[in-house]
Amino acid sequence: MPSTRAVPVTLAEIARIAGVGRAAVSNWRRRHDSFPARIGGTDASPQFSLAEIEQWLRENDKLKEIGGRELLWPGFEALGSRDETGLAIAEAGRRMLDGKAPASVPPLSEQAGELVDEAVALGRREGAREVFEFLLQRWLDAHVRQVSASPRPLADLMAQVALAARPAPSADGGTTVLDPACGAGHLLEAAARAQTRAEAARITLLGCDSDPALAALAAARLAFVVDEAGGAGKTSAGGARVTADVREGDSLRDDPHERAAADVVLCNPPFNERDWGYEELSTDRRWVHGLPPRTESELAWVQHALARLRPGGTAVLLLPPAVASRRAGRRIRGALLRSGLLRAVIALPPGCAQPHSVSLHLWLLRAPEGTGPAEDNGVLLADAAASRRAAAGREGGVDWDALGDFVRTAVAAYGSGAAELPDCARRMAVIELLDDEVDLTPGRHVSPAPGGEELDLEDAWSGFGEVLAGLRAAGRALSALEPAGDGGGGQPKTTVGDLARAGALTLRGGQQPPDGTVRGGEPGEGGLPLLTVPDLLQGGGPTGWLHASDVSGRGMPVAMPGDVVVAGVIRAFAAWVHQGPPTVLGAQLYALRVEPEKMDAWFLAGCLRAPSNGRQAGTHASSASRVDVRRLQVLQLPLAEQLRYSEVFRRLTEFEEFRGRLDELASRLARDISDGLATGRLSAGR
């Protein structure tokens, strides 16, 4: 039966429901008189009744497999209230598990209740976990500016580091993991994954969040984890492998898990909070190392985590870099160092989590065994943001495999007392850090080539020579070109618009993705990289990605290998033959796909990227002006002659690439030689 909910949907949402591009929906609307009439919006952005659209799609056999979940989400989104939508999704998850998760409060509205019924019914048909995770991810995407979630690779890394450094299991053979600001439960779920993969011992997950919707969602999410673990088998003691207890509450002011003794604390706490309870908690017994200043809420979370650890327990927190250096917190940082509780500070590359432009830090803390002072093993300072090893193969995003390998290796080497540490990692004596600033920023204490390591100048000079030889070869080929006899003015030209009308190419313009659909870092499963003009201005590749369903649902153009991509703004004007993986194009980027029997892609790109071409096609005189891609000019030549030009354009592209690599290698050599001379690792000779 079609849904009877009066929910408005846009053309883009209809496309996503049907699993087609937006152009296909517009075509249906033009060709079929039976297509539902507009109920709202504007002519440019019309809205339609979800119930009528669903009925029409079913009657015309255009509802794909993806439709079940996609039909469900607009109703949840139409609830309007962020909290009610989140609580409704949590209640749906709870009921899919036959009430095994705590009930959400307050009671839901009638409209939300109907949606929950539909979600439960869909979950029974398509898989409860799959439907719940789909709705949860859509909710997180829709509220990405309000809800800071730990990306799965980062959550897994934090859990692995903490569990590897934790003490031996407690007397009952289990491990208790606490997240006092658990959000939607990303870190606790990661802890369950890491524990159950490593061994069959029991794990207890304790979570708390002051946001009712997040607490309810985390409880439902972990209920699925518990259900799956319980179904997979029992431990030798006969208990469930995973148990979970998530509660709503403010951990700093009134901790519902106050009596818990955790083996591991994982936390991505709120950043830069002023109203964290400074006045009412001024005499709290947790502030063993000093009352956190009003502006240092993160240091309150650090001490709270330590207070919840059992002897020998381990805590890993994700913190902004300012916590390591702000003057207001130096007294507490000094106390943490002197007590031996702070074991490591690891700087992560930008892009690992929100805010993506900042190099966030991981703090590793360890409670002392028994009543004596903690073992003095120094402090590990590691800068993954500067490590060549952690950045290997990275193109505008985070190489999670390389980063994880660097962090795990550094922590393992530090924990074992090994003298050898990875590059950009250093074990420092506490006394070295106890100066007037107590600055724990790793970049201030480690360098890309730590003392004692050999500078790899031989390979750098070898690469420099190879690139220089390639540059010379490309230069010789280009220097053989001769001026045209008539100055080139007599060559006939055409435009991209004329070529498109003649069927020599197809032109598609990029789109601005809707808020909440872009993810940072490397593309996940079913994801496509997103290239934008800001990415080009920063000199890198794609820094975000989209789910394939978002791309197809909105009809966003995808550049395929062999397409010509054009950046349509003067300040970033460029044209090139795309040779990487399928890539979604953002606003002001265009994909041109040539007909091979009529036009050569390298010839087209070479003609288009001439700077004078972009200026002539610009709509204004300023550097921020847009380029009318249809007005860009192309030499009008037969295909055989295009191929001769194409070979020269390829040589020119090689020349530019060699020039860029030479500049990069020269900068690296200058930096390393300067650093080697200044630190005494290179001799100036006699």
pLDDT of residue 199: 57
Q: What is the pLDDT of residues 455-492, one digit of tens each?
A: 567 777 888 888 888 888 888 878 877 776 655 556 78
Upper half-sphere CA count for residue 371 (Cβ side, 13 Å): 0
Mean pLDDT is highest, among 30-34, 336-340, 569-573, for 336-340
For residue 265, the cross-strand partners are 178, 315
d(CA 558, CA 582): 6
CB 553 within 8 A of CB 13: yes
- 241 or 185: whose pLDDT is higher? 185
Q: Report the pLDDT averaged over residues 111-124.
A: 88
Which residues touch 420 (CB under 8 Å, ≥6 apart)?
Answer: 413
pLDDT of residue 677: 80
Q: Is 4's pLDDT higher than 60? A: no
d(CA 325, CA 23): 53
pLDDT band at 447 (very low <50, low <70, confident <90, very high): low
Element (H, E) at 383: strand 379-383
pLDDT of residue 158: 95
Q: Is 287's pLDDT higher than 90? A: yes
Identify residue 367 by its one-letter amino acid code: A
Q: Report the pLDDT averaged over residues 306-328.
A: 94
Helix or strand or coil: residue 575?
Answer: strand
Tokens 């692995």, residue located: 160
Which of 190-199, 321-330, 367-376, 573-582 is least confident? 367-376
Helix or strand or coil: residue 353?
Answer: coil
- 288 or 385: whose pLDDT is higher? 288
Phi-psi region of 303 (alpha: psi -120 to 50; beta: other; left: phi over 0): alpha
Q: Is 537's pLDDT higher than 80? A: no
Q: Where does 433-512 show beta strands of DSSP type E?
A: 493-495, 505-509
pLDDT band at 360 (very low <50, low <70, confident <90, very high): very high
For residue 608, how many other CB atoms are within 10 A of its CB? 25
Q: Is 373's pLDDT higher than 80? A: no
Q: Is 197's pLDDT higher than 70? A: no
pLDDT of residue 487: 53
pLDDT of residue 372: 56
DSSP3 helix / strand / coil % (the chain, rounded to 5):
40, 15, 40
CB 569 within 8 A of CB 627: yes
pLDDT of residue 177: 94
Q: Is 87's pLDDT higher than 50? A: yes
- Sign of the Cα torsion 539, 540, 546, 551 reads positive
Q: Report the pLDDT averaged over residues 551-571.
A: 84
pLDDT of residue 619: 52
d(CA 320, CA 88): 33
pLDDT band at 6 (very low <50, low <70, confident <90, very high): low
Q: Where does 561-678 show beta strands of DSSP type E?
A: 564-567, 574-577, 583-585, 589-594, 633-635
pLDDT of residue 336: 95
Q: Is 513's pLDDT higher than 90? A: no
Beta strand pairing status for 583-585 and 527-531?
A: parallel
Q: What is the pLDDT of residues 589-631, one digit of tens each?
A: 999 999 989 999 999 999 998 877 766 665 544 444 678 888 8
The total number of residues written for the chain in this structure: 686
Tokens 């979630």, residue located: 149
- Sign of the Cα torsion 45, 51, 56, 58 reads positive
How much of the chain exceeds pLDDT 90, in percent?
A: 34
Q: What pTM value is reported for the model?
A: 0.67
pLDDT band at 323 (very low <50, low <70, confident <90, very high): very high
Q: What is the pLDDT of residues 257-266, one digit of tens each?
A: 999 899 999 9
Q: Report the pLDDT averaged over residues 191-217.
A: 84
Q: Report the pLDDT averaged over residues 297-310.
A: 95
Q: What is the pLDDT of residues 164-182, one digit of tens each?
A: 887 665 556 688 999 999 9
d(CA 463, CA 332): 47
pLDDT band at 198 (very low <50, low <70, confident <90, very high): low
Q: Which of 546, 582, 549, 553 is nearest to 565 (CA)?
A: 582
pLDDT of residue 340: 92
Q: How high does pLDDT run on average in the chain?
A: 83
Element (H, E) at 198: helix 186-198
Element (H, E) at 426: strand 425-428
Q: Report the pLDDT averaged over residues 194-222.
A: 85
CB 411 within 8 A of CB 427: no
- 103 or 507: whose pLDDT is higher? 507
Sheet containing 589-594: which strands, arranged edge to edge?
505-509, 589-594, 564-567, 574-577
d(CA 585, CA 564): 12
State both tokens at 32. Answer: 């079929």
Mean pLDDT is highest, among 345-354, 386-395, 546-555, 654-663, for 345-354
The alpha carbon of 253 is separated from its chain's Cα centroid by a whole number of angstroms, namely 32
pLDDT of residue 338: 93
- 524 or 493: whose pLDDT is higher? 493
Q: Is 221's pLDDT higher than 80? A: yes
pLDDT band at 406 (very low <50, low <70, confident <90, very high): very high
d(CA 377, CA 58): 67
- 570 or 39: whose pLDDT is higher? 39
Q: Is 586's pLDDT higher than 60? A: yes
Q: Is 557's pLDDT higher than 80? A: yes
d(CA 257, CA 245): 9
